[in-house]
Amino acid sequence: MDKVSVTYCSPCPGLLRGVLKPDRRRSSRHRAPTGIAFACTAALMIGQWSCSPKEQPAAEPRPVETVVVSPAQGGTVAVYPAQVLSRYDGRLAFRVSGRLVAKLVEVGQPVTAGQILARLDPADAELSVVGARAQVAAAESAARQQAIDLARAQRLLADGFISQAGYDRKVVSADQAQEQWRVAQSQLAGAIRQVDYTVLRAERDGVVADFAADPGRVVQAGETIATIATPSEIEAEISIPEGESEAFRRSTLAVRTWSAPKVSYPGRIRMISPAAAAQTRTFEARIAFTAPPGAAAVGSTAEVTATTPIVGTAMRLPVSALSQRAGRPIVWVVTGTPARVSARNVDVVQVQQNAVLVTGEVRPGDRVVTAGANLLFPNEVVRPVPSTAPALQ
């Protein structure tokens, strides 16, 4: 026998396949079978030891956090970021163009109705008044002269020195002179008003929210110079997504400022824009509310909470309870002894801050997995533990 091969059992990893080859330099008569037998015996002993089965420890059930399902109480809650604005946000502008020469108020300063806020250089307007007065005087003189001429023509007509046609021309000239006098008077009144337009006054009591020009600047007629807010009537401005506008109209509203988040003020819808904004596709809404003086400053940040009554039967669960299978939202329900999980299809009604409202194949009293749901598979044995999720609101 030139070669003896010994193969260890293949299922046992870690053992080598060995081939024992005799020394070919020696004669076949001097081969030593004793070494071959020893190697075979050793290999068989090692294979028997290596192939003996090992006992595996039993796998512990996977721990999962769970909650008991209960019907949602109250209503769905949606929170919208808001900004506190004045209902009457007066943007004031000069009615004439000119150079700003005086700024008499600062941003944040309270003002009263009729208070002067700024002035333009009145020189040009005052010159117009002087010219208009001169035109009035000239027109008045012309009207008086025509009246005198008319009276003289009336006497001459009575004496037969002028014709009726000549007298009628005098009447027309006198009337024209009177009308020109009235025109000149109107022009003078307009010039005087132009002088008054060089002064910017507050239209109502309020607070200066913005002032957009400094002395020395040439401003145009109609250009916004000052913004006066009325803090006594305030409201919150929000943007409502397209899909929530109808539910928002049925909601109970509350407004709270970030400076005092524990205090809420009842709100009401004053206005919802009839058309969505072109860029954001949201509807602008104004929520009127009443707060103590100084509690909600104009321009401060706030939020509007809209509570909508729940229609039908919905279950409120932590957001972490939701999972997906085949593109559909599911939850894992724990049943039986030992505890095993099974997937239930659900429909999401609304996602809230830390909870989700669902309907579908879940019932009150079911125990739903709230943590570890993404690691489960159907009929898996689990070990339920109490949920550490925040309390649902």
Q: What is the pLDDT of residues 335-354, one digit of tens each?
A: 988 889 999 999 887 777 67
Greatest Cα pair distance, the chain, in angstroms, is 185
Q: Is the pLDDT of residue 16 over 50?
A: no
Q: Does residue 338 have a cis bond before it (omega within 30 degrees)?
A: yes
Model pTM? 0.54
The answer to whether residue 392 is domain-embedded is: no
The answer to whether residue 81 is domain-embedded is: no
The amino acid present at 319, given as its one-letter code, is: V
Q: Name 83's bridge partners.
A: 237, 301
User: What CATH number has the domain bearing residue 299?
Assistant: 2.40.30
The answer to whether residue 56 is domain-embedded is: no
Question: 17: domain range?
Answer: 4-50
pLDDT digit string, tens, across residues 73-109? 767 788 999 999 888 888 999 999 999 999 999 998 9
Q: What is the DSSP string of 66-90?
A: EEE--B--SEEEEEEEEEEEESSEE
The amino acid present at 183, given as its one-letter code, is: V
User: Same domain, yes or no, for 240 and 371?
Assistant: no
Total domains in the chain come to 5
User: Same domain, yes or no, for 234 and 304?
Assistant: yes
pLDDT digit string, tens, across residues 271-319? 999 998 888 899 999 999 998 888 888 888 999 999 887 766 788 888 8
The pLDDT assigned to 312 comes to 65
Q: Is the pLDDT of residue 239 over 50?
A: yes
Q: Is the pLDDT of residue 250 over 60?
A: yes
The answer to whether residue 374 is domain-embedded is: yes
3-state secondary structure of 91: strand
The amino acid present at 237, given as its one-letter code, is: E
The answer to whether residue 294 is domain-embedded is: yes
Is residue 336 within 8 A of residue 66, CB to CB? The reply is no
User: Same domain, yes or no, for 168 and 222?
Assistant: no
User: Same domain, yes or no, for 298 and 319?
Assistant: no
Q: Name 74's bridge partners.
A: none
The answer to whether residue 18 is domain-embedded is: yes
Q: How far is CA 41 from CA 4, 18, 37, 324, in A?
A: 13, 13, 6, 59
The pLDDT assigned to 278 comes to 87
Q: What is the DSSP letter of 7?
A: -
Handedness of CA 310, 316, 319, 323 (dihedral sign): negative
User: What CATH number has the domain bearing residue 203?
Assistant: 2.40.50.100
